[in-house]
Amino acid sequence: MIKAVKGTRDLLPPATVAWNRVEAVARAVFRAYNYHEIRTPILEETQLFARGVGADTDIVTKEMYTFVDRDETSLTLRPENTASVIRAYIEHRLDQRPGVQKLYYIGPMFRRERPQKGRYRQFFQIGAEALGSESPAVDAEVIELVVELLSRAGLSGFQLLINSVGDANCRPQYVERLRQELKSVAHAMCGDCQRRADTNPLRVLDCKVEADQPIIDKLPHITDCLCDPCRAHFDTVKNYLADRGIAYEVRPRLVRGLDYYMRTTFEVVHGSLGAQNSVLGGGRYDGLAESLGSKVHSPGIGFSIGEDRLVMSVEDAQAAEPLDLVIAPLGEPALRHAAVLARDLRRGGLSVELAEGKLKRAMELANKLGARFTLILGEEEMAAGRYALKDMASGEQRQVTREELAARFGGN
RNA sequence: GUGGGCGUAGCACAGUUGGUAGUGCGCCAGAUUGUGGUUCUGGAUGUCGUGGGUUCGAAUCCCACCGCCCACCCCA
C-alpha cells in the first residue's frame, strides 16, 4: 500500500475548513496593509538558497531536497521563500515600481528533517516581505501586521520576542568578543556548546541546558554591543511599538538561524505547540539582495508564519461546512427535473446535493450531511407542479411552488 | 543523524500463565412499497505492521526490518 511520504500529510475535510479560515484572515489583513500576493516557483536553482540562506546553515548543509535535472543543473525544492521573492524582485526590477514593495505568499516549503510535533518535511508558510526601505517605521508596521494577523486568526496567549542582531559593522565584532569570552568558560558547558563556541558562538546563546544558563547569563548581550546606527534603529523600532501599545519582550539571546538577518529580528512563541513552540519568525535583511546579485541596494524586512503550527494552536471544534439542501427525486423523470433545478439553485448560491435512490436513503443522507432542508420530488409533486420542502431541524414539511422556492432561496 | 514510546476491523481500543480474535463508534440491510434523527433486529470487514525463529500450537515469547508518534538537534 502506498502511503504519504514521511513528514508529509493529507489535510482532509473538515480540517481544511480551519486552514481556509486562517488563509482568508491572512489575505484580508494583507489587503488592509497594502500587501499583494506573489507566487514564485516551488523549484529553484540550488545556488539561490546556498547564497541566499547561507552556505553553512543547517538548512543548506543537510535539509534541502536537491536533485540534478536532466540538463545537469542542480535544482532544489524551496526550504523557505524569502530568497525566491528577492530573486523575483531583482529579476523583474520591482525596485522600479513606486513605493515600498509589499509582497505576501502562502504555500508549501520543504525541509528534510526528522518529523515531530509541529515539524513536517512539507510544511506551509504564510509570509510577507517589505522591500526597498530601511526605515524603522517599516519594521514596526510589519510587526504590527503579524500581531494583528495572529490575533484575528484566533490565536491568544502568544508572546512577541524581539532583538537586534546588529549589522555587517558591529555583529562580527560581537561574535569575536563572544568567541574570546567563551574560550575561558566553554569547558564547563555541555558538549554541544563546546562545539558551538568555536563553530557558531551565537548558537550558544540559544542553549536550553539548565546547567549552562548561569554561564550564558554572564556573556555579553549583543544589544549592548551595537554600533550607533544599529542602536538608534532598534530604539526607534521599540518606540514605535510602544506607540501602538504592542507588548513585546526584548530577548538579547534571540538569534535566528538564517545567515541573512541583520538588525531587527523577531519571533512569536506559543505554549501548546510542544518543543517546536515558534509560530512565526522574521527579521530584516538589508544585504540579501546584493548578495544575490542585485546592483541596487534593496533593503528589506519580512517574516513567515508556520501555518501548520498556527492552525494547530488555533484549532477548535471542527464543524463540517453546512449543506443547504438535499434534493430527493423519485424516479427517472423526477431525477431529470431535479438535476436542472439543482443547477439553478446552485447558480443562486445555494449548496445543493442531489440524492438518487430510495427516499429513505435520501433522508438518511440529508441527515448525515447536516442539510438544513430536503426537497422531495416524486410523482405526486411532479403532477401537482410543486415540491415538498422539509425542514430537517423541526421536521416540518410543506408544499411549495417553484416561485416560492425561488423567493426563499434565490436562483429562479 | 541520535534516543524513547507505539503498531490488533474504517476510527478508538480490549485480548489473562501461548490454545489461530473481541467491545464501542462508524458502515450496510431490515422493522417502515414516499420520510431522517431515537430505538430494536440482523450483517459485512482483520495477511493481529512485515519477515524469520522457538513451539504440537504464537496477536501473545525471541530476532531482524518497516512504519507512525514524541524528544534531541534545528527551526516555521
Q: Sign of torsion, CA A71 A74 A77 A80? A: negative
Report the alpha-carbon distance of residue A97 to residue A34 in Å, rounded: 14
What is the tens place of the pLDDT at every residue in A122-168? 999 999 999 999 999 999 999 999 999 999 999 999 999 999 999 98
What is the tens place of the pLDDT at every residue in A1-37? 788 999 999 999 888 999 999 999 999 999 999 999 9
Among candidate residues A307, A216, A230, the one with its CA nearest the CA of residue A16: A307
Residue A343, C-alpha cell as written in the block: 443547477
Measuring from the CA of residue A111 to each C1', which nucleotide is nearest?
B75
Hey, which residues does A279 pair with through a beta bridge? none
Report the alpha-carbon distance of residue A276 to residue A259 in Å, rounded: 20
Sheet order of strands, A43-45 included: A43-45, A74-77, A65-68
pLDDT band at A411 (very low <50, low <70, confident <90, very high): low
Measuring from the CA of residue A116 to each C1', which nucleotide is nearest?
B70
Is the pLDDT at A327 greater than 60? The verdict is yes
Report the alpha-carbon distance of residue A288 to residue A256 in Å, rounded: 15
Measuring from the CA of residue A334 to each C1', which nucleotide is nearest?
B34
Report CA(A354)–C1'(B35) in Å, whole number: 16
Measuring from the CA of residue A358 to each C1', which nucleotide is nearest?
B34
Say if CB A274 and CB A116 are below 8 A apart. Answer: yes
Percentage of chain A modeled with pLDDT above 70:
97
Q: How far is CA A154 from the centre of its chain?
A: 14
Q: Is 0.90 surpassed by the pTM of this model?
A: yes
Report the alpha-carbon distance of residue A189 to residue A212 in Å, rounded: 6
Measuring from the CA of residue A259 to each C1', which nucleotide is nearest?
B75
Say if CB A272 and CB A159 are below 8 A apart. Answer: no
Measuring from the CA of residue A392 to each C1', which nucleotide is nearest?
B36
Report CA(A193)–C1'(B59) in Å, whole number: 47
Residue A338, C-alpha cell as written in the block: 431535479
Report CA(A149)–C1'(B18) in Å, whole number: 59
Report CA(A1)–C1'(B15) in Å, whole number: 27
What's phi and psi for A288, nearest 5 deg?
-65, -45
What is the tens place of the pLDDT at every residue in A264-310? 999 999 987 888 889 999 999 998 999 998 999 999 999 999 999 99
Q: CB-side exposure of A235: number of CA atoms within 13 Å?
A: 8
Report the alpha-carbon distance of residue A158 to residue A170 in Å, rounded: 31
Q: How far is CA A319 from the centre of its chain?
A: 22
pLDDT band at A350 (very low <50, low <70, confident <90, very high): very high
Report CA(A1)–C1'(B60) in Å, whole number: 27
Residue nearest to nucleotide B34 (CA to C1'): A359
Q: For the complex shown, is ipTM > 0.90?
A: no
**pLDDT computed for residue A132 by the predictor:** 96
Q: Which nucleotides of B are covered by protein (CB under 7 A)?
A: 1-3, 27-30, 32-37, 67-76
**pLDDT computed for residue A34 by the predictor:** 98
What is the tens place of the pLDDT at every residue in A179-228? 888 888 877 777 777 777 777 777 777 776 667 778 888 888 888 989 99
Report CA(A362)–C1'(B30) in Å, whole number: 17
Report CA(A7)–C1'(B15) in Å, whole number: 32
Say if CB A110 and CB A79 are below 8 A apart. Answer: yes
Q: Domains of chain A, with CATH numbers?
A: 15-170+226-317 (3.30.930.10), 325-409 (3.40.50.800)
Q: What is the 3-state secondary structure (H, E, C) of A333-368?
A: HHHHHHHHHHHHHHHCCCCEEECCCCHHHHHHHHHH
